[in-house]
Structure 1
Amino acid sequence: MVERAARRIVEEIVASAPAGWTRAILTSTAGRGGVSVSGGYTVPGTPLWRSPVPSSFTELGELAEALRKVRGWERTSLEIECKPSGEYGLVATTDAITSLRGWDGGFQAVLDAGYRLPQPGGEHEGGTTAPEGDPELAVARFREYLRRRAAILGRPEQLPPPASAAALEEAERRIGRPLPADLRALYMIADGDGIGYEQRYLFGRHAWLALENMVAIHTDQREPVWYGWELAWKSVVFDPDPPGTVRRCGGHPAWLPFATGEDGNYLAVDLSPARNGRPGQVICIGRDYDDGPAHVADSVTSLLGHYLELLEQGAHEEHGDHISLLEPARGFGPSRIIGEIPDEIPPTLQAIHINDAVGPVDLTPLIAGPNLRLLHLNRCATADLAPIRTLPVESLRVTLDGGDLTPLEGHRDLTSLDLGTTGPVDIAPLRTVPNLRSLDLSRADVRDVTVLADLPDLRYLSLTARQWTVLLDEGKAPLTLAAARLADDDAPLDEALAWSARLGLDTRDALRTTGTLESDGG
């Protein structure tokens, strides 16, 4: 069954091959969650990416299903190599080892599937200010809001009946926290704004959720979404505006979604704000807020007051039976610069990507950005990291053209470092970086890679095959690693299996099969 499914893929690879090809490699991670495909044909004088292999999604899904039945793997990482002669080989294993072609290249091994990088908001000092919401005022504003909407539409809008006291208590029990008093009071007027499939979109462009749906979405959204080490190892959660109001997390049990944009984004009430926030404040979370939540209002009561102001100003449009409020543009998301360092650094700057600069980049002007958390130099270099010493940079991608890592000694904010060098570098200063958990040295010429054994809490490490060989031969791989990357883009899966076995993964269950189309009757 496996051989038959593999053969169909090879037949398509051979049938689609360009003239003059000498080899084809297809890599895939496949299973019930979907199929990814990368790889290409080797054609002399042509880059691999110009001759991609066919995306055999259906056939790869069938192969993954055959492997699930044979091996019990829910998701499979596999590699197929074939030649013009029709000879082919398949190597397959569980998705604890995955190809990163299409990302940074090479392979990734997950050593501790349950580990998640800590998020800075989990350690934030909580706010001590009293809630701003007022249930009586919220009810008054809500009724006035409905009255004004009815005047615009020429009729009152039909809403569901109120939520019962028992339903509210049950919802709070399942959530594990009481609702803010002002939001709770609104549910005693109506249980959301939808009847059947018709929504009134009372909260701006968001549909107000019924209690039952709010509980279900809270259950799904209460923890940060884990997108895998490919993204997580150097990700940053940024501070909202105003600063220090919302915890810097991708999700939190005290965020209760109460209205949906029906696009994966939500309005939520925050019951565990950061030091400058208020319990019950309204925030935006969801699909478009991977960089961190956005602060909207200090309470549902205040948000309703804002909606009344918009109606008073005539800032609305009618669309049939619906009213759309015309919200002013909000500065959601971190202050970010892409391209080059500007002449004037905004004090709100949190992220900068410097691209393709000519000559060593002088980072000194960035000192004017005291809130800078992400600094990535892409396809360019710097000779001096001294300006970073006083900046709260958490994610740093840099190529050193001379200079050293001394300015990073004792840096308390740095959590991820992607380092390239134009010459040998001593990484000993990294021993003193207490929160450094993710490190990529595959672009660096490291004098003594065994220093890595002394890093206190390293969880992700990316090295070349040569660097890994030195580290493993010396028995100096950090014991705290949860994930690792073999950075060589041309490494075959068999080499990645041998490497991950040295890191402690059990790869004995890997499946290998070979064949030739002609000898199989092709």
Structure 2
Amino acid sequence: MTSGDAGFGEIARAMADALRASAGTASSAATLQLRHTGGAVSCCAWTDVREHLSVDFGPIAQLLWDRPPAALEVRLDPGGRYTFTARPDVASVSPGRLVLDAGFRCPGHPRPGLPRLAAAEPAGAPTDPAVLAEVTRLTSEFAALYAGIKGDPPPWPSGRTEADLAAAEARIGVRLPEDLRALYLVADGDPRESGLLGPYSHDPLGELVDHYLDGEPGSYGWEDEPDDDGVVFETAPFGHVKRLSRNDWWVTFGSDRSGNYLAADLDPAERGRPGQVLDYGRDIYGPLRYVAESITAMLTEVVEALRAGKYEDPDDDGTYLFPETGLRDAATRSYSEVISNAAAVELPSAVAGLPGRELIQEVYLNDAGDVDLSAFGPLESLRSLSVNRAGAVTPAIGGLAALGSLRIDADRVALAAVAGHPVLWDLQLTGVGAPLDLTVLRTLPRLTRLGLERSAVPDWGPVCALPALRVLKVDADQVRDLLGSGHPLPRLAALFVSGRTTLREMSELCAAFGDGAPEGKVTEFSGVLP
């Protein structure tokens, strides 16, 4: 730990002044916490008698811009004495967020380094002549049909060369699908959105390379933080796309210019094929969307639509053409289902009456009374189940072979019913007033994340003994009970603490759950306002 100013003197004084201006002269202590990420500053403030304070921290934020990210706190007593604390390695305070292993990922969230298929190795060979001939034929026919409608040829940039493609592939370390290579030999992108790929257009080759090399290789990266929901759902039709949050071998190559992106999948699941096209982005929450089996299939569908006269030609622009294709149609029902006012329905009948239930992967059950979760047995693809505001819950989930995440907010939970589930990795028990016997958790071999906020935990021993536990979510009182329990603490990747915590307490947690606080990590000093 360090003490003294360490360059924080002006900031500490400004925080104390702002806090006193907000708290007034009340005879209670006040706290102001700031989190500076390097790009934003967030604020939390309260007094011992007021739960929330509104503090003008804009001027303080200006003082932080040139400093490294850190969590900062000022505690101010009624007499004007304040204590300032700063620590760079605490993600947030109130609620507390402590990431002890930045490399940790939840199941289904792989780090970079996935194995590359032999066919995707960038060997530098020229594009397959048969594929090139077919793509050339389709794009030529599109160009002729487009010119017949618009009066001018499509405004495509000139194509790239085989040498350009080989150089790009050498940079990203993967060979592009043969039909995508052929498309680049025809045109280096479609910046004016001619409609060649329906509602999408492909990017220039250089942009593809830059996108791939920006950050982690590949595409997507969905809910990879340890406190995200993190359940990875399967893309329909099932079996075509690997159920991963990201993949080194998903190569983004285009978009709809509205926040949704096309990716070529070079690492398909068992029923898929290399080069199949996926969609992800602003309008797609959950699994990626399967667009087509190939770029060639997309081109074919577009050309067939134009042949049949199925297109829109806006009058207000001279380049746009909108072929009427099914490339954006949702092929199946939503993967998610909500059952509200569950206490008033016959749950087994409600589940049996759901259409397309073999495709349901997520269910929210709201306002249930006493409920037995075995009623969800017919949902064979269910991966995430949330029970909200229930009475007594019997989580008989043995028949839900795919269930990875179970979240229960209830008065009582018969926890023995989860015994032995082979794939359950996320269990959240919130607000359970009846004491929980957590010994059954030892029978869950993949239990990686556990939440117990506002639940009655009489014995922390079973929690500390969980061999696979890496993420723990508790409230401030529980973490104090855990620290005082005398049990060896679990080796966590992340700890999340709901409610009010102080930066001093988070520093103590760093020391307790991590490797301590190396010299220089904590700055602390005191001062007095006039």
Range class of TM-score, shorter chain? 0.7 to 0.9
Q: Is the 8 A contact 1:145 1:308 kept in 2?
A: yes
The aligned residue for residue 397 of structure 1 is 407
The aligned residue for residue 256 of structure 2 is 261
1:5 aligned to which of 11, 26, 35: 11
The aligned residue for residue 527 of structure 2 is 515
1:296 to partner: Cα distance: 0.5
Q: Is the 8 A contact 1:22 1:42 kept in 2?
A: yes
CA–CA distance in 1 between the matches of 2:23 and 2:477?
33
**CA 1:58–1:255 in structure 2 vs 1: closer, same or farther (change >3 Å)?**
farther
The aligned residue for residue 389 of structure 2 is 379
**Is 2:181 aligned against 1:184?**
yes
1:187 to partner: Cα distance: 1.2
CA RMSD, 1 decimal: 3.3
2:312 aligned to which of 313, 316, 326: 316
The aligned residue for residue 97 of structure 2 is 108
Q: Is the 8 A contact 1:247 1:273 kept in 2?
A: yes
CA–CA distance in 2 between the matches of 1:125 and 1:219?
17
CA–CA distance in 2 between the matches of 1:416 and 1:377?
14
1:136 aligned to which of 126, 133, 137: 133
1:516 to partner: Cα distance: 3.0
The aligned residue for residue 82 of structure 1 is 76
**CA 1:135–1:334 in structure 2 vs 1: closer, same or farther (change >3 Å)?**
farther
The aligned residue for residue 213 of structure 1 is 207
Give the TM-score, by structure 2 length. 0.83
**CA 1:118–1:55 in structure 2 vs 1: closer, same or farther (change >3 Å)?**
farther
2:490 aligned to which of 478, 485, 499: 478
1:185-264 aligned within 5 A? 185-194=182-191, 198-200=192-194, 202-220=196-214, 222=218, 225=221, 229=225, 231-232=227-228, 234-264=229-259
The aligned residue for residue 359 of structure 1 is 369
Q: Is the 8 A contact 2:142 2:196 kept in 1?
A: no
Q: Is the 8 A contact 2:71 2:88 kept in 1?
A: yes
**Letter in structure 1 aligned against 2:61:** L
**Is 2:42 aligned against 1:36?**
yes
The aligned residue for residue 440 of structure 2 is 429
The aligned residue for residue 350 of structure 1 is 361
Structure scoring higher RCO (CA < 8 A, sep ≥ 6) equals 2
Q: Secondary structure of 1:186's partner?
A: helix
**Letter in structure 2 aligned against 1:34:** A
**CA 1:43–1:424 in structure 2 vs 1: closer, same or farther (change >3 Å)?**
closer
2:165 aligned to which of 162, 165, 168: 168
Q: Deviations over 1:104-161 (max 9, x none)?
A: xx312221122222417899999999x9x95433332222222222222221122111
**Letter in structure 1 aligned against 2:526:** T
Q: Secondary structure of 1:446's partner?
A: coil
CA–CA distance in 1 between the matches of 2:291 and 2:146?
22
Q: Which runs of 5+ in 2 are unaligned?
A: 1-6, 120-127
**Is 2:57 aligned against 1:56?**
yes
1:216 to partner: Cα distance: 1.2
1:370 to partner: Cα distance: 1.1
1:3 to partner: Cα distance: 1.8
The aligned residue for residue 337 of structure 2 is 337
**Letter in structure 1 aligned against 2:164:** A
**CA 1:226–1:159 in structure 2 vs 1: closer, same or farther (change >3 Å)?**
closer
CA–CA distance in 2 between the matches of 1:91 and 1:331?
54
Matched residues, percent identical?
A: 29
CA–CA distance in 1 between the matches of 2:290 and 2:136?
22
Count of matched residue pairs: 493
**Is 2:243 aligned against 1:281?**
no
**Letter in structure 2 aligned against 1:278:** R
CA–CA distance in 1 between the matches of 2:511 and 2:222?
25
**CA 1:90–1:249 in structure 2 vs 1: closer, same or farther (change >3 Å)?**
same
Q: Secondary structure of 1:378's partner?
A: strand
**CA 1:127–1:305 in structure 2 vs 1: closer, same or farther (change >3 Å)?**
farther
1:416 to partner: Cα distance: 0.8
1:25 aligned to which of 18, 21, 31: 31
